[in-house]
Amino acid sequence: MRVVVVGATGNVGTSVLRSLEMEPQVESILGIARRLPGLRSPKTEWAAADVTRDELAPHFRGADAVILLAWLIQPSRDLNKLWMVNVEGSMRAAWAVKEAGVPALLYASSVGTYSPGPKDRAVDESWPVDGIPTSYYSRQKAEVERRLNYFERQAPDVRVVRMRQGLTFKKEAAQGIRRLFGGSFFPSVLARRGFINFIPEIEGLRSQVVHSYDLGEAYRLALLREARGAFNIAADPVLDAREIGRILDARPVPVPVTLARASVRLSWQLRLQPVPEGWLDLALNVPIMDTTRAREELGWTPSRSAGDALLDLLGGLRVGAGLDTPPLSRGTSGPLRIRELLTGVGRREP
């Protein structure tokens, strides 16, 4: 089996490669990225391509499946660029799958594709997928799923899988996650458990997390099981302020939603951190996902809890962990994070 992974150098991509490398049925892998990494492995070869402008079908021909992970979260101040990569680029890749005659497309969707939903019970994959209106990330994830509905009607011979995953953490992704969500001014010392004494308790803020390695395994299983459709992917327990406080031995402190939202918006406007308030809206409004289908149809069982994934990320933030890929390497930020500062917080990629 030959598999092409588009967006293979990020948090999820490197974990998918890890799982595919260990799978005997996968004989060769082509990793595609805009910027080639220093990573080397026996089964994987690399090619540079941009989903917005390069010919993709030649890279896909002869493959048994394409796993589509390419997605930009930054620059948050350039919504046109994000749309062109995330929506138009994703669909360019999907149509290239059809053109190349590849029989399977596995797409990285997200919990963010869901419409607002309950936090006191779990919903399955039939919950509406119209996104959270104030979140550009959510709107774009929902738009890709809408376009995939049309794609499936036009390409019935392509098996399409949509992985609706929760927040995805691992130690080696710490630098990439910090750049995307914490920004250049985030002090790594704050990731030390001894410095985390308080956890903001915001009404409605309950999130699901999965370890990146376990997510990589979900993609491997979906590849081998001939699965179709959407799968919710997340580990237990659901994380809220009280659960995080228990894990970190910290005290939850109530914070009004209006104050939290205003603080995020102001700090983004002042370029102190790289994400607008829509990300908080997303976390407050997406539903809790029921993962029964993934467990029963894929045989997927996470080996790490949500708390384990959180602690792994914090450990990576403390030590500046990364991998030798542009999205995850510590060196991408430059000395004293100078490249992040020069490109502008939330304005351009370092």
How many angstroms separate the CA atoms of 261 and 19, rounded? 38
Q: What are phi and psi of 318, to 5 degrees?
A: -65, -40
pLDDT in tens, the chain (350 residues): 999 999 999 999 999 999 999 999 999 999 999 999 999 988 999 999 999 999 999 999 999 999 999 999 999 999 999 999 999 999 999 999 999 999 999 999 999 999 999 999 999 999 999 999 999 999 999 999 999 999 999 999 999 999 999 999 999 999 999 999 999 998 887 788 778 899 999 999 999 999 999 999 999 999 999 899 999 999 999 999 999 999 999 999 999 999 999 999 999 999 999 999 999 999 999 999 999 999 999 999 999 999 999 999 999 999 999 999 999 998 999 887 998 888 888 888 88
Give which of 79, 71, 135, 52 is closest to 109, Cα–Cα.
71
User: For the range 261-269, what are the long-range contacts, defined as Cβ-Cβ under 8 Å and sequence gap of 24 or more?
Assistant: 268/76, 268/346
How many angstroms separate the CA atoms of 119 and 66, rounded? 34
Q: Give Cβ neighbours of residue 311 (< 8 Å, ≥ 6 apart).
A: 247
Token digits of residue 121: 């019970």
Torsion of CA 192, 167, 176, 223, to 10 degrees: 130
Q: What are phi and psi of 175, to 5 degrees?
A: -70, -40
- Domain parsing of the chain, residue ranges: 2-343
* 198 to 250, 258, 324: CA distances (angstroms): 5, 19, 34
CATH superfamily placement of domain 2-343: NAD(P)-binding Rossmann-like Domain (3.40.50.720)
